[in-house]
Amino acid sequence: MHIDTISALGFSIRVGTTPVREPRRPLLLFNGIGASIEFVEPFTEAMQREGIPSVVFDIPGVGGSEKTLKPYRFSGLAKLAASVLNERNIHGSVDVLGVSWGGALAQQFAKDFPDRCNKLVLAATSTGAIMVPGRLEAILKMVSPRRYIDPEFMTYWAGHLYGGDLRDKPSLAELLLRGTAPPSRTGYFMQLLAGTGWTSIHWLHRIHQPVLVMTGQHDPLVPPINGRILAALLPNAKLVEVNCGHLFLLTRADEVAAIIDSFLRDAPATANADPVISS
């Protein structure tokens, strides 16, 4: 992954891109709460093997992006994402993927910038404040960014937090954290604040792009019924349940990348985008 820092809407934003040999429509990826670019690299590498370039950026206050003391909402972050694409000279429509907290931002981006969103992938996410909650023990651990800061804490609690493969092999958590940059406490709080009271449940019917909804069958944070609700409310959605927990994008990266590649290779939803990231 090529990582550099750009200016977007007055913020210094750290952006990662993966090149591919043949031009393909890029996949704009919105990460989970507190996660820096490096955290999702197992997945972007798997997508790269499928021939799909990815674009991912650190939210203000996370990883290497500039901190902000000014609260923001998902609508503001959607505008920031559009600006990041423009600054990277990526025009036309892109495919969009959001995981967990980033799934809410992906829904907002698809609503606010329909001409820039060709297809949408929602992974381990929900409609926001109106959802079927996960296990209280897991949710309470998410209030703090400690799991990104304390490797021993992450290894001990990974199975309880994320379920699936991490319950069987908690040592995987240490590998996932390797090379990641922890969020600032202020940045993490701002992300929590951005999602407070947010819900898409009343406007999901307005998202007409093809949507792939993916859920983990053993997800303690976002129970799979939330994916079924999303798929039921979206006009053009397909549901896939993965035999894993919350972080199936990372622990089952190759398997999931193949599913997403098949979905994205179907007939395009909009006119072809301009030439995209290539080596």
> Where exactly are the structural domains of the chain?
2-135+183-265
**pLDDT tens-digit profile, the chain (279 residues):** 999 999 999 999 999 999 888 889 999 999 999 999 999 999 999 999 999 999 999 999 999 999 999 999 999 999 999 999 999 999 999 999 999 999 999 999 999 999 999 999 999 999 999 999 999 999 999 999 999 999 889 989 999 999 999 988 877 888 888 878 889 999 999 999 999 999 999 999 999 999 999 999 999 999 999 999 999 999 999 999 999 999 999 999 999 999 999 999 986 555 444 434 433
Catalytic residue among 100, 126, 200, 278: 100
Q: Measured between alpha carbons, how far is 149 from 162 in angstroms, rounded to an integer? A: 17
Q: Measured between alpha carbons, how far is 162 from 174 in angstroms, rounded to an integer? A: 14
Q: Which two tokens stand for residue 89?
A: 């000279």
126 catalytic residue (yes or no): no
2-135+183-265 CATH choice from 3.40.50.1820, 3.10.20.90, 3.40.50.880, 1.10.3720.10: 3.40.50.1820
Q: Measured between alpha carbons, how far is 38 from 27 in angstroms, rounded to an integer? A: 16
Closest CA to 72 of 119, 8, 3: 8
